[in-house]
Structure 1
Amino acid sequence: MKQKIYSLIGMVILFAIFLFPGGVFAEKMVVIDPGHGGKFTGTCGYTKESGKDLCERDVNLSVGLKLRDALKSSGIKVFMTRETDIGFASNSSDDLRARTNLANGFIKGNNDNSIFISVHHNASPTSPYVKGYETYYYDYHNLDPMYPYDPLQVKYLNDSKRFAEVIHPNVVSALGLIDRKIHNDQSFYVIRNTQMPSVLVELGYMTNRDEESRIKTADYQQKAAQALANSIIAYFKVFDVYQNETKKATFKTKNEAINYAQTLNGNVRVFDKDTQQNVWENSNFEVYHKSMGLLKSFANEQEAIAYASGYANTRVIEKASGDTIWANFFTQRYIVQDQQGTNSSFFDFNKAVSFAQSKQTARVVRANSNEIIWTSFPNEQITRSLQTSRLDGATRYSTSVSISKMLHPNGFTADMDKTVILTTGVEPADALSAGPLSAIYGQAPILLNNSSSLLPEVKDELKRLGATKVVIIGGPVAISPNVENAIISLGIQTERISGATRFETNLRIVEKLGSVDGVFVASGMSYPDALASAPIAAANNWAIVLTEQNNMSAETLKYLSGKKTVILGGPNVVSQSIQNQLVQQNGTQNVVRLSGSDRYETLASILWYFKDQMKSDTINIATGANFPDALTAAPLSIQNKAPLILLGNGLYKNIESFLYQYTEENLIKRVNVIGGPVAVPQSLETMIVNKAK
């Protein structure tokens, strides 16, 4: 067997184990490491190609690339430590450390759901007759102090062993090689220092003429890659049992996992590693912070409440129903009164109604107004109900017209600017910052149009409104001269705000706003964050400035000088270097970053930060999965400062927390639903209405 005794790198620092809660952000990942590369050739065989020796670095890479391609439709995210013939450092020790650090960086935070495979071909320095296949994993038992390891690798000992046991028979069978067994080797640096389950495979001997003649062929390499791919896919087809977020065991079937899980105490869940979902859990109660999200899960209600009581701004949710059963940042605003005169208080409307329905006769009243929301008393009338309006149309263009009609049901009056903002409904970049512009023109509606011709519904709305001016956002590619000429032919004046790029167009828009009270800085390459801020900006005399992730123009920096600035989104959308520039220019006290793990968590941060500036008896809701509906909704907030709630497949917990407190402080009378039932299903509309009652 070829000796690969790698040199010492030094003791590894202590680690912190991070586990994804409940698989919320989990994703199957594999890091493929084609061994060697660059000047580190590994073993060279008998073959010469184009005058060069065929070496291990070459066939390792070829198999690695074929393995990557074989996994393309597997649902597993693939990373490669190298995709070309490169090395990572000038010496072997640093090379190994660099590729291992790269692998660990790829999967950071998702270690439990990731695996590492290092692809090699073997050599025997003493005999050209040795051949066969070997699989290696790291076992720290019988530890040799010559080979220090990353402590996190020890956590995955059983997983690495299982990974090796899945791979080994598949490869032996596919390639028809002599079985040289599975080995728990300590000397391989990469498999003892990666922070995930790891194996190293030796796919035959380059020093054996017969095996080398096969190793160099595309057919052999493809068979090896497919066998490895099948093994990687099979590795994930198990069920992990977690107790108090520590993995206790792994099973091949769901029933075995659940049966075992039911014998454990504490918070227990069964995680389907293949689908990346919990399939069973006894964590019946969750503690949520209003802005930080899930803190901890509990099987017992009393334990959950006791834990939550130790923190401000928390609530306890019953997972089965989704109802809040305890909170310390909003009150029990629903009171159930029964025929005996007994009062029972609840945080959640659904919980209150369910309890009232269990009584022979009862009513649900709102605590702070004493209005009746639900009743089974004979001849008693409901005195509190919310008005809901769905502003939609067959297309995004007709939806924008519906919003315009709500804004100005009788058209423009004599004392209005009679101005309409027109922008493309195809690409959001130009119009992202147009929301605040609406306030400059007296709550001007934002209508969407295509680039080529004035749409009939838009034309009719311009006439109905009695518009005298249309401000066109974007250049002739966004809204063509043909559209502009059609507007002019109606006797309506036009003005075009545009620039050579989306960022120049954005600056021309914000210049129109004049003096502002603050500025949102958001990505110009991704719409959600700017979209979430548009109603707040429009209602509070703020501008929206767009930027690239790592570069902000001198003109933009000059505009922002001396202004209160709120950066939207994390460093992946607006970099830390841009934040540093703004802090240096404007001072720490004038620069704030609001962000979350995704667009909805960022929206929650924005809503919480500006909660006291958005006081209204109205709530607007729209989908956060696309831009047109929410884009045209910004003017709705100018008059009444209503918040815009963006929805995904459901209502995110931090946004839900905001609604609980907001609707307690503001007696909601109206909910505007923007978009049709495909964008905002009836079930989500009902959910929002129930939170606002």
Structure 2
Amino acid sequence: MKKKLLGSLALSMGLFMMVSANGASAEKRVVIDPGHGGKHTGTCGLTGNITRICERDVNLSVSLKLQSLLEDKGYDVHMTRESDVDFSSYISGAGGDLDLRMRYANDLMRGNNDQTIFISVHHNGHPRYTGVKGTETYYYDGLRYFDSRWPHDPLQITYLQDSKRLAESVHPNMVTNLKTEDRGIHADEAFYMIRNAQSPSVLLELGYMTNAEEEARIKTNDFQWAAAKAVSSGIDSYYEVFEVYNMKNERLIVTDTKEEAIRFADKQNEFVTVFDKETQKTIYDNENYIVYTGNESSEKGFYSYQLALDYAKKHANSYVYNKDAEWIAWANGIKPVYAVYQSNTKKNNYYDYKKALFEAEKLTNSKVVRSDTSEIIWTNIKGQKAVTTPHVNVLSGSNRVKTSVEVSKMLYPKGFAQDKEQKVAILATGYDSADGLSAGPLSGVYGKAPILLSESDNLDSSIKSELSRLGAEKVIMIGGTGALSSEVEKGIRGLDIAVERIEGSDRYETNRKIVQKLGSVNGYFIASGKQFADALSVAPIAAANNWGIILTDQKSISSDSLSLIKGKPARVIGGTAAVSGAVEKSVKTAASNVKRLSGTTRYKTLSAVLWEFKDKFDSSAILLSTGESFPDALSAAPLSIGNGAPLIMTGPEMDSSVEFFLRNLANGQRIKEVKVVGGTLPADLVQDTTYFIK
């Protein structure tokens, strides 16, 4: 059987664990818990009662530095607190600080537990001896040291070997970097947070604040950065492994090397995959067929076509994909619209254009006809012509600012019509997503106003030229002078164009002021104000269907925002790490019809959104843009107004669930144009997209 290596790949593990990595791309998530906080000071050491610098303060300082380092490396980082606050006025018991803190942390992990780690940052103190010093690391071994007085979360035990490996990855780095005494790794303490975390977890004691020399060092920037760098490096090491999963999504082994993982996989008598934990991608498998099932596009791999077919027939809206040939072999969610003819005799119907083309090229005087439109889309018959749709139209400039100008030119190739009631353009910064995330629906208020992007501190000449070409009479500036400076405003007014600035004290107030401009809407999307992908995924849908976008903090939503959505349908976008369960609960108290649309990655979330609004997409075009950064997708939203074109965001490779949606969409309507916004997408990805919607 042919096995496929999908890309480049320590410690054997006996426990079997349910995971979500098999066949998918996940995200490396780190939940950092700065211990204590607010009224709960932790140890105040030798001088804290005088200086008021206690454990809670240095825990937070180190944690914020660690957060910064990890985010720079691309980790998905969440904090249980980012300021000096507590979760409750008392520590232990139901509703206490530890209980509420742990619930919040577990909520952040949910849906991605196996690829998440929990780091609780602490500093130590000794009740009697000031000479005690050094660094310790704790993980929880509930198999050897279980005590019925201190019950643990059952899920934590399944992560025992991972927690041990995490401790062994982090601890030596801390001792070396901090130049502290090595007090060892311990597994015999039932600390509340590490025995109840629903992911691999460790508790770090960086040093003793009851030791004069160590306390003095702990309070310095140098010590705190050294600690953060040590932990960050240890986390990198923890993820530098390879995991093998079976068809039940059970993890069978963890190895140090790709080669070791593949050798193990090749010896198995069942379907298995090898998952690169560092890149968060499945890199090897022994499957020949994949079955994609349902709107959420769950995936299962199979050795044989018959096994795949038997499984697919039991599920609605599914298809069998031949991995080696890269085409659909069977489907019940789409029709076989690609017919192969030799001369005028139909030979067969196929679900996939690539398969139809493969068969047609083997024949003389053959052609591929799209049976639902009778169009000839490929032919080798002399004198016969084939249609070349879908056409690819690339809207791209040399940078994000100039790309937004190209989109504007497509919207209004001859500028604003003389009789256009509102000759308005919207201007947002192209270098910070905060204010512009919810601007998409605003375009509809002003009759499909183009969204132009600007530098923060000056008005690019290309924007000046475009405003003049359009014949703009007014510019709506999104955000305060921190987003678009007074110099930018001055540049617009210098063109004799009126300016209205929509700004608030922060991104959330700016968002509410934008939403208030929309007037009566049909519904609201609730999305993270900090993670751009979710809000941008709904911007074209919101703009085309008169929905507003409410941005929210992960932990809580303001009463002002809740008052805006009262009595309206609402869709919460993204998982609980983006918009918490508490926010969803609050939304349900105000909105009339609430549903969460989410997936394990930004692209799975996009797929959920696209399926939810599939019936609203009545267009002969699709929009294609990168989902790795925000500017191109932000300027694309107005392109959907009036035609309902979906915005398809993608990474270097298109997510399988998004591809499945597009195949389904194109099977029911003719897609004649692909508008590529921005110039960062690989050419082969664009070409492949045209193939499966042809």
Q: How high is the TM-score relative to the length of structure 1? A: 0.72
> What pairs up with 1:335-346 in 2 under 5 angstroms?
335-338=339-342, 341=345, 343-346=347-350
Cα offset, 1:651, TM superposition = 1.9
Native 8 Å contact 1:435 1:535 kept in 2: yes
SS of equivalent to 1:640: coil
Change (3 A) 1:448 1:18: closer
> Counterpart of 1:551?
557
Q: Map Cα deviations across residues 277-318 of structure 1 (whole Å, 9 max, x no partner).
A: 444311333332343232433233222222222222222333
Correspondence for 1:483 among 474, 478, 491: 491
> Counterpart of 2:685?
684
Partners of 1:414 and 1:269 in 2: CA distance:
61
Cα offset, 1:496, TM superposition = 1.3
Q: Map Cα deviations across residues 203-233 of structure 1 (whole Å, 9 max, x no partner).
A: 99xxxxxxx99999989x9999999999887
The answer to whether residue 606 in structure 2 is matched with residue 600 in structure 1 is no
> What pairs up with 1:440-455 in 2 under 5 angstroms?
440-450=445-455, 454-455=459-460
Change (3 A) 1:214 1:457: closer
Partners of 1:170 and 1:503 in 2: CA distance:
40
Q: Map Cα deviations across residues 100-157 of structure 1 (whole Å, 9 max, x no partner).
A: 989877766434775989999999xxxxxxxxx9999858489999997765566567
> What pairs up with 1:410-559 in 2 under 5 angstroms?
410-417=414-421, 419-426=423-430, 427-450=432-455, 454-465=459-470, 467=471, 469-474=473-478, 477=481, 478=484, 480-488=488-496, 494-501=498-505, 502-503=507-508, 505-540=510-545, 542-549=546-553, 550-554=556-560, 556-559=561-564
Gaps in structure 2 of 5+ consecutive residues: 1-15, 127-135
User: If you compute each CA radius of gyration, which structure gives the higher value, 1 or 2?
Assistant: 1
Partners of 1:436 and 1:203 in 2: CA distance:
49
> Counterpart of 1:11?
none
Higher relative contact order (CA 8 A, sep 6+): 2
Write the letter of the residue equivalent to 1:246: E
Native 8 Å contact 1:497 1:508 kept in 2: no
Native 8 Å contact 1:138 1:157 kept in 2: yes
Partners of 2:252 and 2:48 in 1: CA distance:
55
Write the letter of the residue equivalent to 1:458: I
Cα offset, 1:368, TM superposition = 0.9
SS of equivalent to 1:381: coil
Native 8 Å contact 1:315 1:326 kept in 2: yes
Q: Map Cα deviations across residues 348-376 of structure 1 (whole Å, 9 max, x no partner).
A: 22233233334455322212122222223
Correspondence for 2:653 among 650, 655, 664: 650
| More off after superposition, 616-625 vs 377-386 | 377-386
> Counterpart of 1:399?
403
> Counterpart of 2:630?
627
> Counterpart of 1:130?
none
Change (3 A) 1:349 1:142: same
Write the letter of the residue equivalent to 2:635: T
Q: How high is the TM-score relative to the length of structure 2? A: 0.72
> Counterpart of 2:263?
259
Write the letter of the residue equivalent to 1:667: R
Change (3 A) 1:227 1:377: same
Q: Map Cα deviations across residues 331-388 of structure 1 (whole Å, 9 max, x no partner).
A: 1222223469452332222233233334455322212122222223334321353222
Change (3 A) 1:374 1:170: same
Cα offset, 1:423, TM superposition = 0.8
Cα offset, 1:33, TM superposition = 11
SS of equivalent to 2:424: strand
> What pairs up with 1:115-154 in 2 under 5 angstroms?
138=141, 140=143
Partners of 1:452 and 1:122 in 2: CA distance:
49
Native 8 Å contact 2:124 2:206 kept in 1: yes
> Counterpart of 2:390?
386
Cα offset, 1:515, TM superposition = 4.2
Native 8 Å contact 2:526 2:552 kept in 1: no
Native 8 Å contact 2:120 2:193 kept in 1: no
Q: Map Cα deviations across residues 66-99 of structure 1 (whole Å, 9 max, x no partner).
A: 9999999797999999999x99987899999999
Q: Give aligned-pair identity as a percent.
A: 36
Native 8 Å contact 2:137 2:202 kept in 1: no
> What pairs up with 1:551-630 in 2 under 5 angstroms?
551-554=557-560, 556-576=561-581, 579-588=584-593, 591-630=594-633
Partners of 2:513 and 2:186 in 1: CA distance:
67
Partners of 2:529 and 2:48 in 1: CA distance:
51
Change (3 A) 1:393 1:164: closer
> Counterpart of 2:272?
268
Write the letter of the residue equivalent to 1:21: N
> What pairs up with 1:344-359 in 2 under 5 angstroms?
344-359=348-363
Change (3 A) 1:104 1:344: same
Native 8 Å contact 1:27 1:110 kept in 2: no
> Counterpart of 1:312?
316
Write the letter of the residue equivalent to 1:20: A
Alignment size in residue pairs: 652
Native 8 Å contact 2:22 2:282 kept in 1: no
Native 8 Å contact 1:268 1:281 kept in 2: yes
> Counterpart of 1:20?
21
> Counterpart of 2:412?
408
Q: Give the RMSD, CA atoms, in angstroms.
A: 5.6
Correspondence for 1:670 among 666, 670, 673: 673
SS of equivalent to 1:621: strand
Write the letter of the residue equivalent to 2:642: Q
Gaps in structure 1 of 5+ consecutive residues: 1-14, 42-47, 53-57, 124-132, 205-211
Partners of 2:63 and 2:418 in 1: CA distance:
70
Partners of 1:429 and 1:225 in 2: CA distance:
27
Partners of 1:282 and 1:100 in 2: CA distance:
39
> Counterpart of 1:207?
none
Cα offset, 1:619, TM superposition = 1.7
